[in-house]
Chains A and B, each alone.
Chain A
């Protein structure tokens, strides 16, 4: 069987890709959906961090990842890649940014090029799930909240002790059972 190795045809992305694309309801139909996503991908390359509704963010993320990985694989001299970049990037000066800034930045990356966070919902307000989508290696302060002192946090101390007490109780029960069976 002379079947082509699929990984040579399509770049392997380091993110989860849903089996079915979201339709992202739009009056202009699938074309309108694509325009929406092109705007988001362009804005992502332009601003490097966006706050979006979760659906639109996650959908655009896949396209952005694919675009960057194609640019990494083939470079600016590749006709098809350039056409792809021309399609997805609405403001043409950012085509330069893609090949001259982002490609060198992500050359040695073994993980995904973008990162997504869940953002808080507006309350009270529209009940859409929100998210933050960003390009890795951007200049903004990190959104990741690190708890380096996790074990010292008050509720963790309390829960640890509660667990110890529970285990102790269980051991006592085991010992009692053991004694009774020995009798």
Chain B
């Protein structure tokens, strides 16, 4: 259990994010904005144009006639087979990684990438990024409404670092989660992944994004920056009713995540943002079976503070130097 008396609210934090909305109200408002914007974009397509999409699978090649600016790789997968809709994590449209729920812009060739056939690390990175996104969703729902929790950000996914991250401000100074608390966070994580929710994508203008994240001081600072680098647009992702900003791409469905653990929460003290908590976890795709000893090693590694700078090539060199030193 959390010892509530030891948790003190941070005064500067409170002042910065005075908002009239409670957490759930803010979430509801965000979703309403997301829905209305999606509806507006759907209506703005106007007259529906048909495009040819060539699918090349392992055994056959199919040409599908789809709708421009409306149909997504997920729709193509539904035409092919139910199995493909379940396992396809990412699509490759003319060779570039493409979200499963992102509409096509033009005629194209399409391929599906699953977690069992990662031709490159792109799909693994998308998986790791989606795991970070989900960590935010879990953390936001795990705490009571009275706690002012604000998601800060998650860094570029680095699978080799051993854990996925999400930096979150919780509004109290010293919190060290007990084992039971971490386990209950993990349980929430698993529950969310088992809902098989689609990870929706929407590109919105800067103003709408700012309106959505009005109550989040970090996001409202980051959004103008992001918009400046990507032609005044911000890419949003939604799982269930959780919305976050990310460049993407993400995997198509939360059901692709199989085994997962919220491994640790580390306190980060930054000058700029005050106290942030780094939530770390490790997950494996569904369908990959790993014995619990090996998974235990991964969990153990995910527990260490992840500085998200992990250069394995350098470390190999170092270790060789050390061998040389020993040999001398």
Contact = CB atoms under 8 A, between A and B. Distances in A.
Interface of A: 147-149, 152-155, 157-159, 161-162, 164-165, 167-168, 171-172, 174-175, 178
Interface residues of B, number: 32
A175 B116 contact: no
Interface stretch (B25-33, B132-140, B309-317): B309-317
A174 to B, nearest CB: 6
Contact of A158 (B117, B119, B120, B159): B159
Contacts of A147: 116-117
Interface stretch (B197-205, B213-221, B294-302): B294-302
Contacts of B43: none
Contact of B115 (A154, A164, A174): A154
A159 B312 contact: no
Interface stretch (B3-11, B73-81, B185-193, B283-291): B283-291
A182 to B, nearest CB: 11
Nearest to B122: A152
A155 B159 CA distance: 10
Contact of B297 (A154, A159, A174): A159
Contacts of B115: 153-154
Contact of B159 (A149, A157, A178): A157
Given A162-B162, A162-B297, A168-B318, 16 more contacts: A147-B117, A149-B117, A152-B124, A153-B116, A153-B118, A154-B285, A155-B290, A155-B294, A158-B162, A158-B282, A159-B294, A161-B162, A161-B310, A161-B312, A168-B315, A174-B322
Interface string B118-131: 11110010010000
Contacts of A174: 322, 326
Contact of A168 (B121, B162, B319): B319
A148 B323 CA distance: 33
20 contacts: A147-B116, A148-B117, A152-B118, A152-B120, A153-B118, A154-B115, A154-B118, A154-B159, A154-B285, A157-B124, A159-B298, A161-B160, A162-B298, A164-B316, A168-B315, A168-B318, A171-B319, A171-B326, A175-B325, A178-B326
Closest 7 CB pairs between A and B? A152-B118, A171-B322, A161-B160, A171-B319, A154-B124, A162-B301, A158-B298
Contact of B127 (A154, A162, A171): A154
Contacts of A172: 322
A167 B316 CA distance: 10
A155 B284 contact: yes
Contacts of B301: 158, 161-162, 165
Given A158-B282, A171-B323, A149 B312 contact: no
B288 A153 contact: yes
A7 to B, nearest CB: 42
Nearest to B119: A149
B160 A157 contact: yes
Contacts of A154: 115, 118, 124, 127, 159, 284-285, 288
Contacts of B162: 158, 161-162, 165
A32 B160 CA distance: 59
Contacts of B325: 175, 178
A148 B58 CA distance: 13
Contacts of B312: 161, 164
Interface string B151-183: 000000001111000000000000000000000
Nearest to B160: A161
Given A162-B298, A178-B326, A155 B315 contact: no
B118 A149 contact: yes
Q: Which of B117, B119, B318 has the most CB of A within 10 A?
A: B117
A152 B310 contact: no
Contacts of A153: 115-116, 118, 288
B116 to A, nearest CB: 7
B124 to A, nearest CB: 5
Contacts of B298: 155, 158-159, 162
Contacts of B160: 157, 161
B276 to A, nearest CB: 25
